Structure 1
């Protein structure tokens, strides 16, 4: 029982850090989307950021599982992380196939969802 209580704060810190990193990456993607329209190499930055964001979201899923199972936290974090991963994957594909009508609104929704969840999880 002592390992579970000592592991819980560390796992929760990892979850909070991964959500904060994910939120920052989503925000940076909105910056690089603007750069993509103004700079000749902006698309390279936006593309690299999208794959980075996907990896950060996978880390968020792992952190959510660790905060739930060994940490004794709520499984609700896993559902949010898995849903966010599915939406980020759809976002990457909509960008690859130039589906701007889906890509831009989904990006805005992902930014809002990530910020709201960051504030929720920090409480």
Structure 2
């Protein structure tokens, strides 16, 4: 595998993980809506996806690093992804303790940031071939 192929693969992995992460964040308000209808399934899904999001976000940080070097994408997605890890960790704690006045608006920010980053990754081009 050439250096350019490895760089392309790194960017592809980052795109895939970022899109998966964004899709999972979109599931969260749907599950929360089911929760408002007194659905125990909604609660189970919301909790399970929330915990899984933390794992996916951690993998996304590594993927962002590889998309930067050797991938050739800019470095700023690393900071956005790391920020999402921090905010999603807070989200899990806020949800578990029932602080919905912060949990709900912060969830909107998470969905917006994750979807925005995913859209950017699908449109991004490498700055230079390694």
TM-score calculated relative to the size of structure 2: 0.87
Could you tell me which runs of 5 or more consecutive residues in structure 2 were left unpaired when the two chains were aligned: 124-130
Alignment match, 2:128: none
Q: Distance in 2 between matches of 1:117 and 1:95?
A: 24
SS of alignment partner, residue 72 of structure 2: coil
Instruction: Kindly report the root-mean-square deviation, in angstroms, between the aligned alpha carbons of the 2 structures.
Output: 1.4
Alignment match, 1:99: 99
Alignment match, 2:74: 74
1:47-58 equivalences in 2 (<5 Å): 47-58=47-58
Number of matched pairs = 122
Offset, 1:97 = 1.0
Kindly indicate whether structure 1 or structure 2 has the higher relative contact order, using CA contacts under 8 Å at least 6 residues apart: 2
Offset, 1:98 = 0.7
1:8-87 equivalences in 2 (<5 Å): 8-38=7-37, 39-87=39-87
After superposition, give the CA deviation of every residue in 1:81-116 in whole Å (9 maximum; x if it has no partner). 101111111111111111100000001111111121
Q: After alignment, is 32-41 or 53-62 more displaced?
A: 32-41
Offset, 1:53 = 1.0
Q: Distance in 2 between matches of 1:19 and 1:98?
A: 28
Alignment match, 1:122: 122
Q: Distance in 2 between matches of 1:75 and 1:3?
A: 22
Could you tell me which runs of 5 or more consecutive residues in structure 1 were left unpaired when the two chains were aligned: none
- In the alignment, structure 1 residue 6 sits paired with structure 2 residue 33: no
